[in-house]
């Protein structure tokens, strides 16, 4: 029994010693020691390669950058001033040039105005001297003369028709001889109620005079169209309106010439009378051979209405 007890105790001691041996740390070898020293040296070198920044160096760099920026700013201001001076000189040059051009334009415009006014006045004078109707004393419209067997004086077609038909009797015939209203030369025409010879019509359109008058009136209108009087005052204070540069300068014409512009009263009257005169003379000339007494009286009444 003693032997059994000793054996059991020895086994118990062995079982208690096993966990103790497992818990012991493994022994460090020579290689492990050398590796740890190497890592330590490497870490020390890395720390030496990234030193702290030098404040003085940073200040010097900032001062250099600021100095460079100031120099660039001065250069920019110098270039800007140079460009401004050049722009001011260019503007002054353009203003001076524009003033010279305006001066030349004024001289040229004055010359053109004089020429235009002179030309228009000459045309109007020619119309008044050579193509005025002896009856109405205005510029002729639808120029018409009495028959070729008479004196050949020319009148406004409408004036001559009114004057001739004013002598027509209520029976539809002329009881008195017709004479030229200007020189009193007799007018030969057929005074019968029946069919008349076509060539016996006392009214003969003067084509030559009509072409000349229409041409001169057209020229006068063309001049007056682009040269109309400009009102000197358009403001309540009576100050002259400043003309905008984009507006075309208008030539100032006398009122007598401006009346022949598009909306001029003389031009309106001339066009209206010329149209009506051509219509009446054309109708009488073409229908003369077959006009009856009632038709002649109808023409007379129509012409009377035109006088009103």
Q: pLDDT value at position 224?
A: 80
Q: pLDDT value at position 121?
A: 86
Q: What is the number of helices (H) and of strands (E) in the chain? A: 8, 5
Does residue 47 fall inside a structural domain?
no
CATH number for the domain including 146? 3.30.40.10
For the ranges 41-45, 139-143, 168-172, the one whose mean pLDDT is highest: 139-143
Residues of the chain with pLDDT > 90: what percent?
33
The secondary structure of 246-292 as a DSSP string is TSPPPPP--HHHHTTSTT-HHHHHHHHHHHHHHHHHHHHHHHGGG--
Distance, CA of 226 to CA of 116 (rounded, Å): 10
- pLDDT band per the 50, 70, 90 thresholds, residue 147: confident
> What is the mean predicted confidence (pLDDT) over 280-308?
87
Provide the sign of the torsion angle of the four alpha carbons 109, 113, 116, 119, taken in this order: negative
Does residue 75 fall inside a structural domain?
no
Domain ranges, residue 116: 90-227+252-308
Which residue is listed with tokens 């109405």? 136
The pair of structure tokens assigned to 38 is 């190497």
Specify the number of domains making up the chain.
Answer: 1
> What is the mean predicted confidence (pLDDT) over 271-282?
94
Q: Would the pLDDT of 191 be above 70?
A: no
Beta bridge partners of 132: 139
152 — alpha (psi -120 to 50), left (phi > 0) or beta? left
- H/E element holding 170? none
Does residue 106 fall inside a structural domain?
yes
Q: pLDDT value at position 51?
A: 60
Q: Would the pLDDT of 20 be above 60?
A: no
Does residue 2 fall inside a structural domain?
no
Does residue 20 fall inside a structural domain?
no
Question: Contact at 8 Å (CB) between 146 and 180?
Answer: yes
| Per-residue b or e along 229-260, where b marks 16 or more CB atoms closer than 10 Å to that residue's CB | eeeeeeeeeeeeeeeeeeeeeebebeeebbbb
Distance, CA of 278 to CA of 203 (rounded, Å): 11
Helix (H, G, I), strand (E, B) or coil at 203: strand
The residue ranking higher by pLDDT, 299 or 239, is 299
Q: pLDDT value at position 284?
A: 92
Query: pLDDT per residue over 30-86, tens digit each?
Result: 555 555 555 445 454 444 555 666 888 888 888 888 889 999 999 999 999 999 999
Q: Would the pLDDT of 239 be above 50?
A: no
Question: Contact at 8 Å (CB) between 158 and 276?
Answer: yes
Q: pLDDT value at position 210?
A: 96
HSE-CB of 120 using CA atoms within 13 angstroms: 26
Question: In terms of C-beta density within 10 A (0-12 exposed, 13-18 middle, 19 or more buried), how is residue 102 classed?
Answer: exposed
Distance, CA of 169 to CA of 297 (rounded, Å): 8
> What is the mean predicted confidence (pLDDT) over 174-184?
84
Question: Contact at 8 Å (CB) between 206 and 144?
Answer: yes
- pLDDT band per the 50, 70, 90 thresholds, residue 262: confident
Q: Would the pLDDT of 25 be above 60?
A: no
> Would you tell me how many other CB atoms lie within 10 Å of the CB of residue 303?
19
Q: pLDDT value at position 233?
A: 40
Query: pLDDT per residue over 83-124, tens digit each?
Result: 999 999 999 999 999 999 998 888 887 887 788 788 888 999
Residues of the chain with pLDDT > 70: what percent?
70
Question: In sequence order, which residues have a C-beta less than 8 Å from that of residue 139 and are 6 or more positions away?
Answer: 127, 128, 131, 132, 133, 213, 217, 270
Q: Would the pLDDT of 235 be above 70?
A: no
DSSP code for 132: B
Which residue is listed with tokens 């460009």? 83
The residue ranking higher by pLDDT, 247 or 119, is 119
Q: pLDDT value at position 304?
A: 83
Does residue 71 fall inside a structural domain?
no
Does residue 233 fall inside a structural domain?
no
> Would you tell me how many other CB atoms lie within 10 Å of the CB of residue 144?
28
> pTM value?
0.58
Q: Would the pLDDT of 280 be above 90?
A: yes
Average pLDDT, rounded, for the chain: 77
The pair of structure tokens assigned to 141 is 């419209």
Helix (H, G, I), strand (E, B) or coil at 148: coil
Does residue 23 fall inside a structural domain?
no
Phi–psi pair at 96, nearest 5 degrees: -65, -40
């Amino acid at each position: 029994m003693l032997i059994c007890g000793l054996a059991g105790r020895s086994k118990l001691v062995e079982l208690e010693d096993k966990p103790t041996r497992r818990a012991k740390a493994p022994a460090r070898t020579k290689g492990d020691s050398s590796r740890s020293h190497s890592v330590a040296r490497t870490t020390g070198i890395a720390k030496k390669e990234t030193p702290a920044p030098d404040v003085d160096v940073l200040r010097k760099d900032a001062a250099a950058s600021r100095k460079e920026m100031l120099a660039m700013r001065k250069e920019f201001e110098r270039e800007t001033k140079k460009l401004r001076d050049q722009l001011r000189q260019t503007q002054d040059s353009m203003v001076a040039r524009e003033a010279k051009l305006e001066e030349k334009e004024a001289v040229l415009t004055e010359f053109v105005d004089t020429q235009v006014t002179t030309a228009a006045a000459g045309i109007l004078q020619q119309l008044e001297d050579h193509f005025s109707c002896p009856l109405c004393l205005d510029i002729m419209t639808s120029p018409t003369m009495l028959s070729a067997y008479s004196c050949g004086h020319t009148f406004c077609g409408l004036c001559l028709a009114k004057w001739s038909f004013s002598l027509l009797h209520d029976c539809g015939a002329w009881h008195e001889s017709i004479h030229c209203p200007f020189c009193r030369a007799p007018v030969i025409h057929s005074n019968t109620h029946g069919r008349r010879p076509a060539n016996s019509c006392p009214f003969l359109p003067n084509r030559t005079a009509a072409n000349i008058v229409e041409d001169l009136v057209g020229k006068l209108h063309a001049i007056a169209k682009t040269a109309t009087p400009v009102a000197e005052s358009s403001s309540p204070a009576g100050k002259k309106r400043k003309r905008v540069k984009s507006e075309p300068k208008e030539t100032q014409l006398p009122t007598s010439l401006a009346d022949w512009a598009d909306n001029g009263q003389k031009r309106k009257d001339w066009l209206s009378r010329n149209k009506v005169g051509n219509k009446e003379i054309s109708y009488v000339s073409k229908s003369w051979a077959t006009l009856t007494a009632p038709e002649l009286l109808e023409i007379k009444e129509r012409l009377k209405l035109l006088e009103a």
